Amino acid sequence: MSQPTASRAKRIGALLFCPACGTLLDLPRDDQDEIECSQCGRKEPAASYENLPTKTYSSANAFPSALKAKRALVQNTVEEGEAAKDRDPIANERCDNCGHIGMSYKEMQLRSADEGSTIFYKCLNCGHQTSTNN
């Protein structure tokens, strides 16, 4: 009992709805020429599903994974380490350039392990830099 198909199925995105009753129509199988509405029995040509544009949207957090969680942990640790670099300790040393007392410093081992480290100072007032071997 096929009914005439005077009006086409209503499309919202990639979904097709029965024009008679508004029920969501099933996807056609490869061997089907028509899709029958499960509610009212109206038949819609399977060709209605051809060439439908489809847009999908997602976000970076839409698909959680253990690997992404580990990567985020490492990135956060590095970012926190980078932030700590901006907060170097301060020594009560006098700047040779402007005389200001208070210089940030970093200690690095540049020479062999049995020798002392090198301390790099930076003036908090003028930005002058100097180094001292320990």
CATH of the domain at 124: 2.20.25.10
57 is an annotated ligand-binding site residue: no
37 is an annotated ligand-binding site residue: yes
Q: Is the pTM of this model over 0.75?
A: no
Distance CA 25, CA 46 (A): 10
pLDDT of residue 21 exceeding 80: yes
123 is an annotated ligand-binding site residue: yes
60 is an annotated ligand-binding site residue: no
pLDDT at 4: 47
For 70-90, what is the mean pLDDT?
A: 61
21 is an annotated ligand-binding site residue: yes
What residue numbers bound the domain in which 116 lies? 90-133
User: Number of folded domains in the chain?
Assistant: 2
- Residue 73 within any structural domain of the chain: no
Distance CA 18, CA 133 (A): 83
Counts for the chain of helices (H) and strands (E), in that order: 1, 8
Strand pairing report for 129-133 and 15-17: unpaired
pLDDT of residue 66 exceeding 80: no
98 is an annotated ligand-binding site residue: yes
pLDDT of residue 5 exceeding 60: no
Percentage above 90 pLDDT, the chain: 16
C-alpha 76 chain-centroid distance: 13
